[in-house]
Structure 1
Amino acid sequence: MLTRIVAILFPLFAITAAGFFIGRRLKPDLSHANRLNMDVFVPALVFAALANREFRIGEYLPLLGLTLALVAGSGLVGWVAARALKVEPRTLVPPLMFNNCGNLGLPLAVLAFGDAALMPAVVMFMVSNLLHFSFGAWLLDHRARLVNLWRVPSVAATFAGLAVGIAGIEVWPPLMTAIKMVGDISIPLMLFALGVRLTDARLTSVGLGVFVALLRPLSGMALVWVLLQLVPLPPREAALLLVFGALPPAVLNYIFAERYRQEPEKVASMVLIGNLAAVLFLPLALALAL
């Protein structure tokens, strides 16, 4: 079991570590690569998964509902923790509510459970992504215009993929192959960019960062256990949801905090320490799930 867990996690941490050390040494400007990843490669990955003829959204409705409940429950945990610690909820709630289901979650799902796990993993990513760009943006700025949500490429790809899949439209196979090839670029690039991004994080609130690094995966896995008692899922989906619950805070939380000037230094500490703590909590989650 230990050998299998190491074999699953090693590629993730190796690519992320490579990005971190190269980022420290060469300081590459990945702004254009990250833009391409968010605007082209990730949307292609999402569309290819959702528009696949084998994808049936009805089969994943229980998983979709539990993912929604998990994200909302994590937000509630964050709000209670913020009130108890007398921390601004808009600073603490998003890192607990929105996890790294893109950079770490998608590649981890494929490595741990095979290519067939990509579709349910994309469903969970879809839920978190839609909520982050809608409720997450509104939480940080109540003036945020949610009507522009469809302009986010990954969101537009989600709606387009769902429309094609539900309508039963068959995309021309050579075109679908091209879309999948473009989407395949996203996963290693996300991991490498995560490592580079972590070199920019600054530790200013270590205590709060450690607190979130512990609370995010522990509360997530506890919530998953409760939810699975209420709504059982097939074994693979239950395992994916458990791993999803253990993921660290998303790097996107730091980007949003910078954009909306919501104590980005504190959020950077939560993201950095949380992703470092994933070295401990992801093996635990996989040991419980496999």
Structure 2
Amino acid sequence: MLIRIVSVLFPLFAVTALGYLVGRRMRPDLSHVNKLNMEVFIPALVFAALANKEFRIAEFGSLAVATLLLVMGTGVAGYVLARLCGIAPKTLVPPIMFNNSGNLGLPLAVLAFGDAALAPAVVMFMVSNLLHFSFGAWLLDHRIKVWTVWRVPSVLATFAGLAIGIAGIEVWPPLMLAIKMLGDISIPLMLFALGVRFTDSRIGSLGLGLFAAVARPVAGMLLAFVLTLVFDLSGQERALLIVFGALPPAVLNYIFAERYHQEPEVVASMVLIGNVAAVVFLPIALAMVLP
């Protein structure tokens, strides 16, 4: 079991570590690359997974609802913890609520459970992504217009992919292959860029960083376990939900905190320490779900 867990996690942390080393040595400016990934490669990945003729959205209805409740439930837990500990809710709630379901979640799902896990993992990612770009942005700035979330490329790709999949339209195979090739760029690029991003992060508040690093996966796994008892999910879906719950805070939390001037240094600490702590919590989650 230990060898299997290491074999699943090693590629993730190896590519991320390489990105960190390259970032420290070369200081590459990945701003344009990250924009390309967010606006081209990740939407291509999402579209290819959802527009696949073998994808049936109805099959993942329960998983989507469970994921929605998991994200909202961890947000409530974050709010309660913030009030109890005297922390600004706008600082603590997003890192507890929104996890790294893109950079780590998608590649981890494929490595742990095979290519068949990509479609449900994309569904979970998109539920979290929709909430993050709508409610998450509104939480930090109430002037945000939530309905503008449809302008986000990955959200557009979701709607387009779902429409084609539900309509039963088969995309011309050479075109679908080209889209898949673009989508295949996104996962290793996400991991590499995550490592580079860490070179710019600074630990501004060690105590809060450690607190969030533990609270995020603990609250997520506990709530995920409860939801697996409530919803009629397949074995793979239950495993994905628990692993989803164990994921660390999303890097996007730091970007949002910086954009809306919500203690970005503190949030950066939560994200950085949380992703380092994933070395502990992800093996625990995998040990719980791998046969």
Aligned with 1:185: secondary structure? Answer: helix
Unaligned runs of 5+ in 2: none
| 1:233 Cα deviation after fit | 1.0
Give distance in 2, aligned partners of 1:31 and 1:200: 12
Give distance in 1, aligned partners of 2:183 and 2:62: 26
Aligned with 1:58: secondary structure? Answer: helix
Corresponding letter in the other structure for 1:69: L
Structure 2 residue aligned with 1:35? 35
Structure 1 residue aligned with 2:138? 138
Structure 2 residue aligned with 1:207? 207
Structure 2 residue aligned with 1:52? 52
Give distance in 1, aligned partners of 2:147 and 2:131: 14
Give distance in 2, aligned partners of 1:138 and 1:168: 35
| 1:145 Cα deviation after fit | 1.6
Give distance in 1, aligned partners of 2:23 and 2:128: 28
Structure 1 residue aligned with 2:268? 268
Give distance in 2, aligned partners of 1:207 and 1:226: 29
Structure 2 residue aligned with 1:241? 241
Question: What is the CA deviation profile of residues 11-51 of structure 1, one whole-angstrom value per residue up to 9, with x for unaligned ones?
Answer: 00000000001101111000110000000000000000000
Question: What is the CA deviation profile of residues 74-103 of structure 1, one whole-angstrom value per residue up to 9, with x for unaligned ones?
Answer: 000000000011111011000000000000
Structure 2 residue aligned with 1:196? 196
Q: Tell whether the 8 Å contact from 2:68 to 2:128 is kept in structure 1 after alignment.
A: yes
1:93-104 matches, within 5 Å, as 93-104=93-104
Aligned with 2:43: secondary structure? Answer: helix
Question: Which stretch shifts more, 145-154 or 57-66?
Answer: 145-154
Give distance in 1, aligned partners of 2:195 and 2:109: 19
Give distance in 2, aligned partners of 1:200 and 1:232: 43
1:92-241 matches, within 5 Å, as 92-241=92-241
Corresponding letter in the other structure for 2:125: F
Q: Where does structure 1 differ by over 6 angstroms across 4 or more consecutive aligned residues?
A: none
What is the TM-score when the length of structure 2 is the normalising length? 0.99
Identity %: 73
What is the TM-score when the length of structure 1 is the normalising length? 0.99
| 1:58 Cα deviation after fit | 0.4
Structure 2 residue aligned with 1:281? 281
Corresponding letter in the other structure for 2:182: V
| 1:232 Cα deviation after fit | 3.1
Aligned with 1:81: secondary structure? Answer: helix
| 1:231 Cα deviation after fit | 1.3
Question: What is the CA deviation profile of residues 77-131 of structure 1, one whole-angstrom value per residue up to 9, with x for unaligned ones?
Answer: 0000000111110110000000000000000000000000000000000100000
Give distance in 2, aligned partners of 1:46 and 1:168: 17
Give distance in 1, aligned partners of 2:110 and 2:225: 22
Alignment pair present for 1:73 and 2:81: no
Give distance in 2, aligned partners of 1:199 and 1:271: 12
Give distance in 2, aligned partners of 1:254 and 1:262: 9
Corresponding letter in the other structure for 2:116: A
Corresponding letter in the other structure for 1:279: V
Aligned with 1:218: secondary structure? Answer: helix
Unaligned runs of 5+ in 1: none
Give distance in 1, aligned partners of 2:66 and 2:135: 18
Structure 2 residue aligned with 1:258? 258
| 1:150 Cα deviation after fit | 1.2
Give distance in 2, aligned partners of 1:10 and 1:64: 28
Give distance in 1, aligned partners of 2:126 and 2:148: 17
Give distance in 2, aligned partners of 1:123 and 1:209: 29
Give distance in 2, aligned partners of 1:232 and 1:158: 24
| 1:146 Cα deviation after fit | 2.0
